[in-house]
Structure 1
């Protein structure tokens, strides 16, 4: 399993309404992509320094990630919203497995 994280910083012209519309579009998009095991997107809580918005997607493997990112739905959301909203973007992919987290013993 792979966790794909994307963090965005918005252009100054982005409004709360833009962000709401984007979130709705991403949520709808995700429901139509069978390769997604889990998906969440929304404004950053700003508990620590970081971007304005984040997406977390879990897929089975690299092929699943490509299917998600290259899907017509994802491309449509990018063209309609993200392309004009993004000032900065960063992304990372992390492996997920049952042993990824170990609670401290003692």
Structure 2
């Protein structure tokens, strides 16, 4: 199995509607990109100060399946149209498990 984890912090001025659109659009991807085995997205619970504001965790059977997701036009469109316009910072890691 191969896991992809991404953490986002939104830019100052990002609206609640823009943030909700990120979650909505990312949530559509499992129906489009069948290589995903598990997929979870969500806003930080606000328990600890200094956390990133949003997380994505995606599991795949293999690195090759992750690469399909990474490069898929639907995924790239969500990044370009919804994430990048409100992104302040991003952290990511991929690992086998």
Structure 2 runs not aligned, ≥5 long: none
RMSD over equivalenced CA pairs, Å: 1.1
Displacement after TM superposition at 1:47 (Å) = 2.5
State how many pairs are aligned. 96
Q: TM-score, normalised by structure 2?
A: 0.92
- State whether structure 2 residue 74 is matched by structure 1 residue 73: yes
> How do 1:19-58 residues align onto structure 2 when only pairs under 5 Å count?
19-48=19-48, 49-58=50-59
Higher helix share: 2
Displacement after TM superposition at 1:93 (Å) = 1.5
In structure 2, the partner of 1:90 is: 91
In structure 2, the partner of 1:101 is: none
Larger Rg computed on CA atoms: 1
Structure with more contact order per residue of length (Cα contacts < 8 Å, sep ≥ 6): 2
Give SS of 2:29's match: helix
Structure 1 runs not aligned, ≥5 long: 97-106
Q: Deviations over 1:47-78 (max 9, x none)?
A: 23420100000011111111001001101101
Displacement after TM superposition at 1:27 (Å) = 0.7
> How do 1:58-69 residues align onto structure 2 when only pairs under 5 Å count?
58-69=59-70
Q: TM-score, normalised by structure 1?
A: 0.85
1:47, 1:61 → 2: CA distance?
33
Moved more, 39-48 or 6-15: 39-48
User: Structure 1 runs of 4+ off > 4 angstroms?
Assistant: none
Displacement after TM superposition at 1:46 (Å) = 2.5
